[in-house]
């Protein structure tokens, strides 16, 4: 690839406009009001240099992309074993909002932390002191990773909270099994708030710098996650990050990734690059149609597939 990176990214966006189809998520009423034509891409190198193109300052809600970072945060705080006791690492092969529990192990638990049942459980495990609410702890943590103060989108938060019937039913199932140990209404409300933190693609690549760089924040040199924590989160992103399309994704794109219903996708190749894309129209699995197209193109052009070397 000899084209300078900014031009390469701009060309990518131009070419991906051919990827038609998909539709806006509408189960969160406020998300259905998104502009379907927004399109952005960003890339970070190992040393934290950021390149971007398109609507790269446009802010959207992080949604399920938050699950990867909160999983890492809770593992770092409580240890991997404590988290594995409550949430497994098996791909579910089911939709992200399935009321899905692994019944095969000794203890019934959510199959993995990238689907809602696992992510709601992981959210409930965020340690709190002095009554700071968990979503606020996460907002501050994401702001630190992004290198700027991030905010909640209160309209999306309220809209999702008012219609969170499915997540509430997941919450009550988890409470019934004692996997959640506190009020499901409060936990689900706070989880939904975590999902409503606003980011741009530039913020996302700044945030994933820490995963690209083995747990150290490139901007400050501070160690945020241990090597083992990063390995754990990237493993689960590889097997479960794209929900029930994770196998197709791994074959076609081949990098650990996480998507969200507002249309964002992050991709992390440890020791090499971090990628983020945004385009709101989704396929039937809840993954961005144009986002997948752009990621696949980048993976091909730069030889990023994990198994490229064979």
Chain residues in the site for ligand GLN (CB under 6 A): 63-64, 96-97, 116, 160, 167, 192, 195, 260-261, 286
Distances (CA, A) of 20 to 28, 264, 305: 22, 16, 24
Q: How many CA atoms lie within 13 A of 151 on its CB side?
A: 5
* Min separation Cβ 38 and ligand GLN, Å: 16
What is the C-alpha separation between 170 and 176, in angstroms, rounded?
A: 10
Closer CB to ligand GLN, residue 64 or residue 296? 64
* Min separation Cβ 115 and ligand GLN, Å: 9
Closer CB to ligand GLN, residue 213 or residue 262? 262
Closer CB to ligand GLN, residue 224 or residue 265? 265
Instruction: Residue 296: name the closest of 260, 236, 242 by CA.
Output: 242
What is the C-alpha separation between 74 and 121, in angstroms, rounded?
A: 11
Closer CB to ligand GLN, residue 36 or residue 214? 36
Residue with smallest beta-carbon separation from ligand GLN:
64
Closer CB to ligand GLN, residue 110 or residue 286? 286
Q: Which residues are annotated as a binding site for substrate?
A: 64, 116, 160, 167, 191, 243, 261
In the three-class reduction of DSSP (H, G, I as helix; E, B as strand; rest coil), residue 168 is classed as: helix
Q: How many CB atoms lie within 10 A of CB 261?
A: 24
* Min separation Cβ 203 and ligand GLN, Å: 16
Q: How many CB atoms lie within 10 A of CB 34?
A: 19
C-alpha 134: how far from its chain's center?
17
* Min separation Cβ 17 and ligand GLN, Å: 24
* Min separation Cβ 110 and ligand GLN, Å: 13
Cite the DSSP H helix spans in the chain.
5-16, 65-78, 80-86, 116-124, 134-146, 154-162, 165-176, 184-195, 201-212, 227-240, 246-252, 289-302
């Amino acid at each position: 690839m000899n084209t300078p990176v900014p031009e390469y990214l701009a060309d990518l966006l131009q070419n991906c406009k051919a990827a038609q189809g998909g539709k806006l998520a509408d189960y969160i009423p406020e998300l259905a009001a998104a502009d379907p034509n927004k399109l952005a891409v960003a890339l970070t190198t190992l040393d934290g240099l950021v390149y971007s193109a398109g609507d790269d300052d446009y802010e959207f809600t992080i949604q399920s992309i938050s699950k990867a970072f909160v999983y890492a945060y809770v593992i770092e705080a409580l240890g991997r074993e404590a988290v594995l006791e409550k949430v497994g690492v098996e791909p579910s092969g089911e939709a992200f909002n399935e009321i899905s529990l692994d019944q095969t192990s000794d203890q019934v638990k959510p199959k993995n932390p990238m689907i809602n049942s696992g992510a709601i459980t992981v959210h409930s495990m965020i340690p709190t002191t002095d009554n700071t609410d968990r979503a606020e702890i996460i907002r501050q943590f994401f702001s630190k990773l992004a290198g700027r103060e991030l905010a909640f989108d209160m309209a999306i938060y309220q809209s999702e909270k008012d219609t969170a019937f499915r997540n509430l039913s997941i919450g009550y199932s988890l409470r019934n099994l004692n996997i959640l140990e506190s009020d499901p209404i409060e936990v689900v409300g706070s989880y939904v708030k975590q999902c409503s933190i606003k980011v741009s693609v530039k913020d996302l690549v700044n945030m994933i710098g820490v995963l690209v760089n083995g747990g150290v924040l490139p901007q400050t040199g501070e160690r945020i996650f241990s090597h083992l924590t990063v390995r754990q989160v990237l493993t689960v992103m590889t097997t479960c990050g794209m929900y029930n399309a994770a196998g197709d994704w791994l074959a076609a794109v081949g990098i650990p990734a996480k998507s969200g219903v507002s249309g964002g996708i992050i991709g992390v190749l440890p020791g090499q690059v971090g990628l983020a894309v945004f385009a709101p129209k989704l396929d039937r699995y809840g993954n961005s149609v144009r986002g997948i197209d752009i990621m696949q193109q980048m993976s091909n052009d730069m030889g990023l597939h994990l198994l490229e070397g064979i």
